[in-house]
Chain A
Amino acid sequence: MFYREAGDFKTSYQQDSQTFPIRFDRYRYYVVLAVAFGVVPFLINDYWANAILVPFLIYAIAAIGLNILTGYCGQVSLGTGGFMAVGAYACYKLMTAFPEVSMFIHVILAGGITAAVGVLFGLPSLRIKGFYLAVATLAAQFFLVWLLNRVPWFYNYSASGQISAPEREVFGIMITGANAPSWAVYLFCLIFLSLAGILARNLTRGTMGRRWMAIRDMDIAAEIIGVNPLTAKLTAFAVSSFFVGISGALFFSVYLGAVEVGEAFGIQKSFLVLFMVIIGGLGSIFGAFAGAAFLVVLPVALKLVGVDVLGWATDIVAHLQLVIVGGLIITFLVLEPHGLAQLWRVAKEKLRLWPFPY
């Protein structure tokens, strides 16, 4: 009824290979973009921005990054927190060293630096596989956090060992620091998320993405048919760390403002992003969005129901949240290993035939 491809003819190769081949999908995508850019910034207030929207945008970038590495290339990483920390500290060093350069450039450069670090820690992936590698990436997590904590140069010798974002403007509008208007922060993150989404979607359906997926499905077979595992794995690490670094830079500079590395980028963060990818759906860009949204909204919703409505103590709700998240992870892995994205796909299949399924 709403969702059909009858009469949707493709007359050129270009049309055949577009991202959203079905017209309804395409319009829906434009509408979402239009609402996100044109409507939300006018309605946004501080609570919504800080509790839900901005964390969602930032985590979605990180989830896209991890999804490229884990979902598309099959290399499980538990070092996401460490790489986010690299992005944050790189951004901090750049912001304080070159105050007059635009924040856009800083954030992208921070991503680039993280990509280089990611490649370095991706090198062992050529020798070790599976959860041996997952454990090896923990080395990245602990080592990077320790390094950033111990070498004073990284935090400009500040007494507290924290880094705090200086106030910076983009096009004359403050976007970091406590006085930044929430709509500007939101838009700034949204721009990065949109670009990341478009970039990731196109990378994963092109040559590079196919190489990654071949490595994921069976690396030895892929090597035999001519996929170079060295370049495939290292590009996956680079691209993934690039996105993760950007998200770390944003997390520090525009969202938190001040960061203590062990607290903000600990192992829990790595797991959180991994859970987003699992719940959202391994190997799906939409899944990264869905998973990030789900795990950002869940604690807020639980707190709303548990503390405000039922009047329970905060710690009980926090413990319940652990139980629910853990239970959900298991449930998803048992019932729907492809996550929310697969549910969405199934729903779309159903909608295509509705109301006359055969």
Chain B
Amino acid sequence: MPDQLLYAMEVTLNGLMAGVLYALVALGFVLIYKASGIFNYAQGVMALFAAMTLVGITEGQVPFSHLINAIFGTEIHNFGWQLPGLVAILLTMVVMVGLAWCVQQFVMRHLVGQAPIILFMATIGLAYFLEGVSDLMWGSEIRKLDIGLPQGINETLDRVTYDLFGYGFFIDNLDVVASVIAALLVIALVAFSQYTKQGRAMRAVADDHQAALSVGISLNFIWVMVWSVAGFVALVAGIMWGTKSGVQFSLSLIALKALPVLMLGGFTSIPGAIVGGLIIGVGEKLFDFMIGPMVGGATENWFAYVLALVFLVFRPQGLFGEKIIERV
């Protein structure tokens, strides 16, 4: 086989893996959007916050230590313990549920019935707020996150492809793990929303708030739950991205990457988020591989947006979204 084609195949595979990670972030958006009609811009910052909290808890860092030291002139930094990964993840989850409750209690409850765009802008405000809190709590340096996920080149795949084509593909182990986890997460989420009582209640709320209220479903509870689930998805995404490239501010920018994924897949569809993520992942990698050198490279920043933009002009509701019906 010609080398170019092999390279293209490798790029495609890597694109698929990157796409899975995009889809992982996009999932969090879809969940909240389906249940409450809120487009949660803060999802990326939630991933950052979750990953930061996880690192902080694992290393036994005292939250807000810089601020406390600055105000009271003390010198505290560390509790001096080292927690195992699983305990830290559970504790982080508790924090994320607390965050979900706060968001519902102090922000979203007061904005029920506002125009969607107002809610969107509120979540931009939330993103800023959370970013500041995360920096104050845990500091803003780049942190290493290592909870024991495998990393480095996947040798099995390398060997198999070498035997087949005479050229070994480079695929990161972490990407493989991420794809498996993402697949499991999607199955779990679908099962949750189809077969459990809470999941059914969630779908009812998504369908019609008033009707759901009238059969005795607590909107407050459902929304806190949805934000918690989104927090959980953010935590998973944060762990994946954090392990890949360190926990730092740029983690929150993956939210921006997930936006075109959503537009492509449709805001209301979980399969859409996955397919959209894969298309964007492969598309931007291939585009950068083939067209990039001709136009000066670094096309990854904007390609996804332009693709989504062009696509939306022809199909405004996205690939799998519900048809938008407008009435006066």
Q: Which residues of A contact B (CB under 8 A)?
A: 74, 76, 124, 127-132, 134-136, 138-139, 142-143, 145-146, 150-151, 218, 220-221, 224, 267, 271, 274-275, 278, 310, 312-313, 315-316, 319-330, 333-334, 337
Q: How many residues of B are counted as interface, with CB atoms below 8 angstroms from the partner's CB atoms?
A: 50
Q: Which residue of chain B has its CB nearest to the CB of A325?
A: B128
Is B298's beta carbon under 8 Å from chain A? Answer: yes
Name the segment of B81-89, B107-115, B191-199 touching the other chain.
B107-115
Q: Which of B6-14, B119-127, B238-246 contacts A (4 or more CB under 8 A)?
A: B119-127
List the A residue with the shortest CB-CB distance to B324.
Answer: A129
Q: Are B256 and A138 within 8 A (Cβ)?
A: yes
Contact in complex: B312, A128 (CB < 8 Å): yes
- Of B51-59, B133-141, B148-156, B158-166, the segment with at least 4 beta carbons within 8 Å of chain A is B133-141
Residues of B within 8 A of A128 (CB): 312-313, 316
* A150 cross-chain contacts in B, Cβ below 8 A: 295-298
Shortest 9 CB-CB distances between A and B: which pairs?
Answer: A329-B125, A326-B129, A322-B132, A326-B128, A323-B132, A139-B305, A142-B302, A319-B135, A150-B296
Q: Nearest residue in B to A313 (C-beta to C-beta)?
A: B70
B residues touching A (Cβ–Cβ < 8 Å)? Answer: 39, 66-67, 70, 106-107, 110-111, 114, 116-118, 120-122, 124-133, 135-136, 140, 256, 259-260, 262-263, 295-299, 301-302, 305-306, 308-309, 312-313, 316, 326-328
Task: Return the chain B residue nearest A315 by Cβ.
Answer: B140
* Given A139-B308, A322-B129: A218 touches B116 (CB 8 Å cut-off): no
A residues less than 8 Å from B67 (CB atoms): 316
A333 near B263 with CB under 8 A, answer no
Nearest B-chain residue to A144, judged by Cβ: B302
Cβ-Cβ contact count across A and B, 8 Å cutoff: 141
**How many Å lie between the Cα of A145 and that of B118 in the bound state?**
27
Partner of A320, one of B130, B132, B305, B313: B132
Give the chain B neighbours of A131 by CB distance below 8 A.
Answer: 39, 116-117, 120
Q: How far is the CB of B145 from chain A (nearest CB, A)?
A: 20
Pull 9 A–B residue pairs with CB atoms less than 8 Å apart, ordered by A. A130-B116, A132-B312, A132-B316, A136-B263, A139-B302, A143-B302, A143-B305, A323-B132, A325-B125
Most chain A CB within a 10 A radius of its CB, from B126, B127, B298, B309 = B309
Interchain CB contact under 8 A, B107 and A329: no
Please tell me which one of the listed residues A146, A313, A334 contacts residue B299 in the complex, with CB atoms under 8 A apart: A146
Known: A76-B117, A146-B299, A320-B132. 15 other contacts (CB 8 A): A128-B312, A131-B39, A132-B316, A134-B117, A135-B259, A135-B262, A136-B305, A139-B302, A143-B302, A143-B305, A271-B128, A319-B140, A322-B128, A330-B107, A337-B114
